[in-house]
Each structure stands twice: as C-alpha cells, then as structure tokens.
Structure 1
Amino acid sequence: MTDESREGIPPVVAEAIDAANAHDTERFMDTFAPTGSVDDWGRVFTGREAIRGWSDGEFIGSAVTLDDLQFSAVPDGVAVTALVGGDGFNGPSTFTFLVGSAGIERMTITA
C-alpha cells in the first residue's frame, strides 16, 4: 500500500495487511485483541491460538497475498476489498475489520 492509500485506515489494519503480505505470522497475530476473532466465510476462530491455527493452515501458511486493495469505512473499522492470491483460495474477497482499543476485534472474510 502507498502512504496515500493509508489515509483514514486504522494503523492496526494497515499493519495486519502488511504482515500478511510479508508472511509474518507474529506481526499479524500482534494486530489482534486477545479476544479477537476471524470469521472466514462463516467459520469463526476466536482467540489468538485459534486464529494462529487458522492462519498457519489457510492464510499466511498458504503464502497469502492481498493486492489491488480498496478501502471503505464501516462503523468501528474498515472494509478492505482485495484480490487474494497464494497457495489457497485465489480471487476477490472483502475483509471487514472491526477495531477496538486492544487491536482488531474481528476480521470477517466474505465475497
């Protein structure tokens, strides 16, 4: 992402995207609140241990890339439309990030 595209984006969301593209699991995990969750097309993983297991198997562990990013504000966060690449799912997805004071509270992945 360019610095210009980050305007209005919660820094923790930009960090999560950068960490995913760098395949840096520790940085990615550090963006989540301790009770945060990932909703991957209806499958919910709550807490850092569950998120790490999901990511190791299906996200960063599958060499994910997030390109062609478009951002739109949502209450308490941001929706990011991305072209997903890597060794798993490939295609467009929307990642909706809800952000609290402790980090990402929920990342929901949909079409």
Structure 2
Amino acid sequence: MTELPPEVARLLEATNTEDRAAFLDAFTDDGAVDDWGRRFAGRDRIAEWDAGENIGVHSRIEATSVRRTGDTVEFGVQVSGDGYNGGGTFTAELRDGKVALLQIRG
C-alpha cells in the first residue's frame, strides 16, 4: 500500500483521537466535505458535519488502500464508531499542505 500523504494522515489521526481543532486545521480555509452529495463548505459547516457525522459519533477510520495521482488521493477506509460502520472510499484534494476537499463515497 502506498503511504498516506501527511495531509490525509493528519486528518485521520485527528478523527481517531477526537481532536476537533486538529481536524478543522487539516482543511484549507475554503475547504469542504462532500458526504454523498451533501456539501459542507467552510470551517463552520465542516465543524457541523464533524459534530454529527465524524468525531461527534466517535468515528475511527483506518485506511485500507491508497492511490495518489498528483494532488488527488483516493483511499479505501474501514469506519467504526457510534455512527456509520463499514467500508468506503474517500477522495482528498490537496492544496498548500492541507485538504481542500474531502469526498466520501461507498
């Protein structure tokens, strides 16, 4: 498996340690989360998504595969916690050492 880029590793580490500040800091100022077509743009909206769908439900995310093409990283995940449990695919668009877009699909 290709190693996770540091931007993505920081995002997963923040989730797994429930560090909300580090999670938000992993995104660019204009960053966004696209969760199955539901778009949360900007830090305040990402924080809302995080509270309801990620750290707020004690998610733990393990990367199971990684493929990088330029600034786009697609990675398979296994998710557990008090919300969604199961596999999926995330795609991160990277910019300036941070995540500009995190797209979540199954």
Per the TM superposition, whether the score is higher than 0.5 is yes
Q: 1:96 aligns with which of 88, 91, 96?
A: 91
Give the Cα–Cα distance (whole angstroms) in 2 for the partners of residues 30 and 58 of structure 1. Answer: 17
For residues 102 and 41 of structure 1, do their structure 2 counterparts lie closer, same or farther at Cα, with a shift above 3 Å needed? same
Flag as ranges the 4+ runs of structure 1 deviating above 6 A: none
* Gapped regions of structure 2 (runs ≥ 5): none
8 Å contact 2:66–2:75 — kept in the other structure?
yes
Q: 1:37 aligns with which of 32, 41, 55?
A: 32
Give the Cα–Cα distance (whole angstroms) in 1 for the partners of residues 84 and 99 of structure 2. Answer: 22
Q: Normalized against structure 2, the TM-score is what?
A: 0.92
For residues 110 and 80 of structure 1, do their structure 2 counterparts lie closer, same or farther at Cα, with a shift above 3 Å needed? same
Q: 1:87 — aligned with what?
A: 82
Q: 1:109 — aligned with what?
A: 104
Deviations 1:9-64 (A, max 9, x none): 32111100111111111111100000000000110000000000010111110000
Give the Cα–Cα distance (whole angstroms) in 2 for the partners of residues 77 and 13 of structure 1. Answer: 11
2:28 counterpart letter in structure 1: A
Q: 1:74 aligns with which of 42, 61, 69?
A: 69
* Gapped regions of structure 1 (runs ≥ 5): none
How many residues get paired?
106
What's the CA shift for 1:102? 5.4
8 Å contact 1:10–1:77 — kept in the other structure?
no
Deviations 1:56-89 (A, max 9, x none): 1111100001125211113412111111111111
Q: Percent identity?
A: 37
Q: Normalized against structure 1, the TM-score is what?
A: 0.88
